[in-house]
Structure formats: structure tokens, C-alpha cells
Amino acid sequence: MMQIDEKVFKAVRAPARPAPVVEPPRLEMRVDGLTLRYGDKAAVRDVSLGFPRHRVTALMGPSGCGKSTLLRCLNRMNDLVDGVRITGKVRHGEMDLYAPGVDVTALRKRVGMVFQKSNPFPKTIYENVAFGPRLLGVRKRATLDELVESSLRSAALWEEVRARLHDNALRLSGGQQQRLCIARALAVEPDVLLMDEPCSALDPVATAKIEELVFALEDRYTIVIVTHNIQQAARVSDFAAFMLHGELVEVGPTRDVFTTPKDPRTEAFISGRFG
């Protein structure tokens, strides 16, 4: 099996990334034997995978491979789809996400989501970020002001919008809207941030800003990002998982997956022979 040259990996890897971790940190979330079916069709097949704490894990693969479906299992977004059946376990710490009686609203506070297309509410920038805290019972204006500012700073957006907090969020550029959605997710102080192809609709400049933001956030959050862009997976992630036809083909430290893939299907994908 042909190996991916180390120089190829370095060519797409952001130079500022730290060296890969030798001993993986403890797991924030874990999927064990997860299968998801739409009727008789299995979109995810018997997947077992861990997500290390305060690291970035990239789920990559061609369109339709099940990576976004798997991502949505991590905060039960698939509950909203008719006809879905899920077996297996998804754990956040000691909590089984699919156990009876789990508070899904509380779960989604701990496991936030940023979607492929930015979806700001048709409200002011301030109210977009304050929405989650208000929903969770925060009423004091000073506390909301602090949360809005800190969340916008964490999303690298504060300096661009600090004088426009009461403007409609829909007036922001596409890249700014996506960072606003990230700020909105961070405002409820999650443990995990799920990102479903967050750069697919953005230009290269806005994409670079989102990727820089991912680097800045991973010290505080566990991040799982879905991408079909193998160069982006190489740039932003510490660990990479390759999926095909709903199955997990290979997972490991990103450098290992890209330079010495164990499965010929992984090598074919990252070499651009399909996908």
C-alpha cells in the first residue's frame, strides 16, 4: 500500500499546530456499537469511536458516508427525524445520552451544535447570543452583557460588532454570521462543540478565520468537526476518523492517518482517488 508522503501532510497542515499528543487525553464522549437506521436503511453501521477531551476530532469521508448523521447522534438531533431507530450507546462522561429520562434540552446545553449553513435568528446580534442564557433562566442584564461580550470575544467577533450589537444579525457577512452562531453556541458554556461542515458555504478568507477560531477554542472545548475537505481535516484536527458507507474505516492521530493509513480505502480517499 502506498504511503502518504510526510511532505504532503505538512503542505496542508497549519504550521502553528502543536505536535501530536503521544498519550491521548481522557475521552469526553464515546460511541459504542452505534447503528442508526432510516426505516430499513442503515446510515451508520456499528460505529465505536471515542472523542478525546479538549482536542479536535475530524469526521471525514465522501458525501453520504454517514459522518453528519453520526455527528447529530452526539446531541440527539436525529430525534427530530421521523422513522429513525438507534441502537448502541452514546456517552458523555458517565451519562448515556439515550437512556430513558435524559433531559434533551440540558444535553444540548452541554453539547452545542454549529450547522453547515449559518442560521442566525432574525434578531439583533446581542439577542442572538443572549438567547440561550435567557432560555436557561438568566435574567440579570449585567450577567447577560458579560456573557454576550465573552462569547463574542471567544468567537473572534467582538471587535467587529461591539458598536453594532443592536443591529439585525442578518446584516452581517456570511463568515460573521457563522462566527455569531458559534458565539451563540458558546454562550451556554458547553463541554462539546459539534461543527457540521461549518466552512462549506464560506470563501477562503472566512474559512481561514473559522479554522483559526477552532485552534483557539480547543484548549477549552472538545470539538468534533465534520468535513469532506481532506486538507481542512489535516489542518485543524488532532484526530481523524474516516467513514465510508456508514462504517468507520479508520481512526487515529491525524498525522498517522494521513501519512501511514492502515486501510487502502483511507489511502485512496486522502489521495483524492475518490470522494
Mean pLDDT of the chain: 91
Q: Reply yes or no on whether the pLDDT at 124 is more than 50.
A: yes
Cα–Cα dist 169/180, whole Å: 8
Distance between start and end Cα atoms, the chain:
19
Q: Reply yes or no on whether the pLDDT at 228 is more than 90.
A: no
Assign 224 to helix, strand or coil. strand
Q: Reply yes or no on whether the pLDDT at 16 is more than 50.
A: no
Residue 66: which CATH number?
3.40.50.300
| Residue-wise pLDDT tens digits, 31-56 | 999 999 998 899 999 999 999 999 99
Q: How many domains does the chain have?
A: 1
Q: Mean pLDDT across the stretch 114-132?
A: 95
Q: Mean pLDDT across the stretch 129-156?
A: 96
Q: Is residue 224 part of a domain?
A: yes
Q: Reply yes or no on whether the pLDDT at 118 is more than 80.
A: yes
| Residue-wise pLDDT tens digits, 50-106 | 999 999 999 999 999 999 999 999 999 998 888 899 999 999 998 999 999 999 999
Q: Reply yes or no on whether the pLDDT at 2 is more than 50.
A: no
Domain hosting 213: range is 6-11+26-120+190-270
Q: Is residue 55 part of a domain?
A: yes
pLDDT of residue 258: 96
Cα–Cα dist 79/77, whole Å: 5
Q: Reply yes or no on whether the pLDDT at 249 is more than 60.
A: yes
pLDDT of residue 21: 52
Assign 173 to helix, strand or coil. coil
Assign 258 to helix, strand or coil. helix
Q: pTM here?
A: 0.89
C-alpha distance from residue 134 to each of 104, 130, 147, 149 (Å) = 17, 6, 11, 15
Closest CA to 151 of 181, 173, 124: 181
Q: Mean pLDDT across the stretch 175-200?
A: 96
Q: Is residue 140 part of a domain?
A: no
Q: How many percent of the chain have pLDDT more than 70?
A: 90
Q: Is residue 170 part of a domain?
A: no
Q: What is the longest distance spanned by two Cα atoms in the chain?
A: 61
Cα–Cα–Cα angle for 231, 117, 188, rounded to 5 degrees: 100
Q: All 3 cell numbers of residue 234?
A: 489535516
Closest CA to 54 of 219, 226, 225: 219
Q: Is residue 212 part of a domain?
A: yes
pLDDT of residue 201: 84
Q: Is residue 171 part of a domain?
A: no
Q: Is residue 142 part of a domain?
A: no
Q: Is residue 131 part of a domain?
A: no
Q: Reply yes or no on whether the pLDDT at 224 is more than 70.
A: yes
15 pLDDT band, cuts 50/70/90, is very low
